[in-house]
């Protein structure tokens, strides 16, 4: 993809590309392009700096310059998009806009993929969002925002391919955020934001039987993933109804986006700003990965709706999934602009 000004489509594709571009031009449509700086970086054998792939700031003397156009490129994403524009112009198509239908970074990889990390995935996607929302465009088309879809919403853990190929998602297969992604500039935050840290905990002095009933409801009909409370799991200890109810209450509270009335549980719960997490037990409100977040529309439990419905000590409901994510922008992946 560099220099972009010398990019062209494989000439053997002309019988397909030319009619396709004619159709897109005549209908006022877009060329859809998948852009993966991660693969460009991995296949460059060290030629492409990691910072250049991740949108990190570069000193002027490190920026890539297309010697044919003297355009300066500060990231791989823009270079690839402009390469597609130049390739279309080589075939005399100069007014077809581009939509980036897939772009992202894997959060995990095997020993041969050391840069597939949570930190790099978060950095790339956060910087990509910022880049697109700033409407800076590309060096060839400044000021024209490139509509972009993030790949992808969920990890695909059942793929029988490389580790990195399974781990492009913002959420794991159970709907738990892989990392906390702030949609800077969009007025919304994906997953469990910690900007306003509040927690829902068991009220001091609450009736143990009412706490037990509320815990059973949260882990049952309330659809909280209470598997972290099972023996041997991070939040099993201390093994008492107050501690377990506190975890379940907080998970439900944050699953309901801290909506008013979702931290009551017939008066046995209350909101606090003190993080109840301890040791390896991380609570949803503190950005932990034990909680499960789904798109819930049910109300908080009331005296008419609370019931344990289970013969055992706790009714644990695991595997709750995030059913949708709409935060002012859409996710298929995720589209901005």
Residues marked as catalytic: 102, 156, 159, 165
Tell me how far apart the alpha carbons of residues 291 and 194 are, in angstroms, rounded to a whole number. 14
| Side-by-side strand order, sheet with 31-34 | 31-34, 98-103, 148-150, 334-336
Helices and strands: H and E segment counts in the chain: 7, 10
Distance in angstroms (rounded) separating the CA atoms of residues 285 and 288:
7
Look at the alpha carbons of 64, 14, 104, 296 in this order and tell me if their dihedral is positive or negative: positive
- CA–CA separation, 255 and 283 (whole Å): 12
d(CA 117, CA 102): 19
Alpha helices in 142-259 (DSSP H): 208-219, 241-255
Coil, helix or strand for 72?
strand
Cβ(114)–Cβ(98) below 8 Å: no
Dihedral sign, CA of 19, 20, 23, 25? negative
DSSP for 114-154, written as a single string: TT--HHHHHHHHHHHHHHHHTT-B-SSSBT----EEES-SB
Cis peptide before 269 (omega within 30 of 0): no
For 91, the 3-state DSSP assignment is: coil
């Amino acid at each position: 993809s560099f220099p972009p000004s010398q990019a062209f489509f494989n000439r053997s594709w002309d019988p397909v590309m030319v009619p396709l571009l004619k159709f897109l031009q005549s209908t006022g449509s877009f060329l859809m392009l998948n852009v993966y700086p991660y693969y460009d970086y991995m296949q460059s054998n060290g030629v492409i700096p990691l910072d250049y792939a991740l949108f990190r700031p570069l000193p002027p003397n490190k920026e890539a310059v297309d010697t044919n156009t003297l355009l300066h490129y500060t990231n791989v994403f823009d270079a690839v998009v402009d390469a597609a524009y130049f390739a279309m112009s080589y075939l005399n198509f100069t007014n077809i806009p581009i939509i980036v239908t897939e772009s992202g970074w894997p959060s995990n990889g095997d020993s041969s993929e050391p840069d597939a990390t949570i930190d790099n995935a978060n950095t790339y996607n956060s910087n990509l969002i910022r880049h697109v929302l700033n409407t800076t465009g590309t060096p060839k088309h400044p000021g024209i925002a490139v509509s972009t879809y993030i790949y992808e919403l969920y990890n695909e853990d059942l793929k029988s391919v490389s580790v990195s190929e399974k781990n492009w998602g913002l959420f794991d297969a159970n709907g738990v955020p892989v990392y906390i992604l702030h949609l800077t500039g969009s007025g919304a935050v994906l997953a469990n934001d910690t900007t306003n840290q509040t927690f829902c905990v068991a009220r001091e002095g609450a009736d143990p039987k009412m706490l037990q009933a509320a815990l059973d409801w949260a882990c049952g009909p309330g659809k909280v993933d209470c598997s972290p409370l099972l023996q041997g799991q991070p939040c099993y200890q201390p093994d008492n109804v107050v501690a377990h109810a506190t975890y379940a209450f907080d998970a439900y509270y944050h699953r309901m986006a801290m909506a008013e009335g979702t931290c009551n549980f017939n008066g046995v719960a209350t909101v606090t700003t003190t993080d109840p997490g301890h040791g390896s037990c991380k609570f949803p409100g503190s950005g932990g990965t034990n909680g499960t977040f789904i798109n819930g529309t049910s109300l908080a439990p009331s005296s008419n709706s609370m019931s344990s419905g289970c013969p055992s000590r706790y009714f644990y409901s695991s595997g709750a999934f995030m059913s949708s994510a709409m935060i002012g922008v859409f996710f298929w992946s995720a589209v901005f602009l």
